[in-house]
Structure formats: structure tokens, C-alpha cells
Amino acid sequence: MKSQVQPKLIIHGGAGSSLHGKGGLEAVRKSLHTVVEEVYALLLSGVTASVAVVQGCQMLEDDPRFNAGTGSVLQSDGQIRMSASLMDGTSGRFSGVINVSRVKNPIELAQFLQNSPDRVLSDYGSAELARELQLPSYNALTELRLQEWIQERQDNFKSTMAGVVAEPELVESSNSRRGTIGVVVLDAYGSLAAGTSTGGKGFERIGRVSDSAMPAGNYATSHAGVSCTGIGEDIIDECLAPRIVVRVTDGMSLKDAMQRSFVEAHQNQRDLGAIALDATGAIAWGKTSQVLLAAYHNGENIGDTLELPLETEVGFVP
């Protein structure tokens, strides 16, 4: 393959209510920028979009600050169940795992399933695949997430979700509750890919399925790629990722597709966010939540969305 275009990259670490405490905000910024820097260096070295997406997702899954992989939230029964998916825009293949336990990087399973005849596996199938691949058993539990669950149990699980960021110096309101990680990449060959991974809402009913392992929350074609975050049910109801991608594929600009989709989401009182790239290298993000934890590389420098206004917002970098 011959290098053709300037690579672009955007990642997210969740969406939620306002972040208080500059120390915590700067810690999140440092985490996100570190991932962007490392993955962008890989893109410049010539790796493909899917490989870069998986690497970025792994780094975010390994950071206990975010609700995916290590640091995932606990469900109502005190167990961790994670979901992840990968979509390659060039091949048009979507693959994912739903409610998998005791693996370090769910995105690795999604990557393996890209070349499988069965490309989305639920809990038992995911566990069996992890055994087949001889992945070591891994405990993703952190002390912060355990204490969060114990507190909720004492309150009889009045909260419907866990905190988006496990960060002691972030003083978050009781509604700051959405957590996912995601990566969207345009590689040097002009190919797009998107990946999304989550530990779920936290405290949810056993068996609940998030948007992260569905096309609703993670979708890419050769024209655009999108990863979503926020309330999974709201993302599913909007069918947000494919809604944006299909609009771009049908000829709408990424900027207009994001604007229209987020106007609709706001009108429908959804609580969500999304990051996006198109084949021209345009970068976009949107949110109806107060905060979107996203960072990007535009080919020249790194930027982020950590201090956007609290209202519905759509941003664009051509």
C-alpha cells in the first residue's frame, strides 16, 4: 500500500456532567493526550487504521481512570462485564464482544473476530474465545470502583449508573454517569476504522447490553467513522453512529451530518456524545451532555474538548 493522505485521529474517554477540580481535569487531559501522541506516531509509521484503533483502545482500557478494561464499573451483582467492538470501514466488517469478564482488553477479542464467520459473541461465547486464544485471566477491579459499588449498595442502588471517570480529585455530581472509550482513525492509506469499549453503566441489571458492541454506538464505512459515548439506551434509540455515517456516505458533509444529528438528539432529550472522522480528514465531535472527554490530532497538533461550553455543542476541524 502506498501512503496517500495525512493521517488523522480522534479519541474519547466518556461523556458526562461538568468536571470540577483542575487537578483532575489536567490528569484526564494528560491521559488522553498521551494516547493520541502514541497512536499518531504509529500512524505516521504506516500502521493501518484498524491496528491503530485497537492500540488506542488498549491504552484507554489499561488506564484505570476510564470505564473500560481496568477500572470498569461493577454491575448490580458486583461483577465486571465489558463490551467492545471494532469496525473496519474499508472491509465494512463489524465485530464485537458483549458482557465479557476476566480479560484485560476486550478490544483484542473484537479484533480477532474481524476474520471470523461469527463476528459478535455474547458472554459465554466471548469467554470461550478467550480460553481458545489462551488469554490470561485478568481482574479489572480497582479499589475506587469497589468503593463506588459498596457506597451504592448501602444506598440500595438508587443511582442508575456509575461515574464516568474514576478519579478521586474529580468532584462529580450525582448525574455525571456515562463512561465509554472510543477511537476513530483515518490512516495514511485513506482507510477509516472505529473502535469502542466500555465497562457498562454500572449497577445495571445483569444481561443489559450497551451500545458499544452494536453498530448504533460504533460504525464506519469508507466515507466516515463514528464512536459514541453517553447513555447507551439513548444512543441505541437514536441509532447515532450509523445515522451520522449514512448521512456522510449519502453525500452530506460531516459537519452538516453532525449538526443535524445532534439537533435531533437534543430535541429528543438524549444524553450522549460522539467523535467522528471522514475520508477527507475532517474531524468532528458533538455532545448533548455537559462534558465530552475527547482529544484529537489534526496532522499538526493535539487538541481536546475538555473545556467546552456546557450546552449542546458540535465542533469541527477541517
At 1, list the grid cell.
500500500
Read off φ and ψ for residue 139, nearest 5 degrees. -100, 110
CB–CB of 192/277 below 8 Å? yes
Query: What is the arrangement of strands in the sheet containing 120-121, beginning at the earlier edge strand?
Result: 120-121, 93-100, 82-88, 192-198, 181-186, 8-16, 291-297, 302-304
Of 70, 180, 229, 288, which is the active-site residue? 180
What is d(CA 100, CA 113) in angstroms, rounded to the nearest whole number? 14
| 111, amino acid identity | Q
Distances (CA, A) of 138 to 53, 61, 62, 80: 22, 13, 12, 11
Of the CA atoms within 13 Å of residue 233, those in its CB half-sphere come to 6
**Nearest Cα residue to 98 out of 211, 229, 13, 203:** 211
**What's the sign of the alpha-carbon dihedral 164, 74, 135, 192?**
negative
Question: What residues contact residue 105 under an 8 Å CB cut-off, 6+ apart?
Answer: 57, 58, 61, 62, 69
CB–CB of 225/192 below 8 Å? yes
| 88, amino acid identity | D
Q: State yes or no: is 198 an active-site residue.
A: no
Catalytic residues: 180
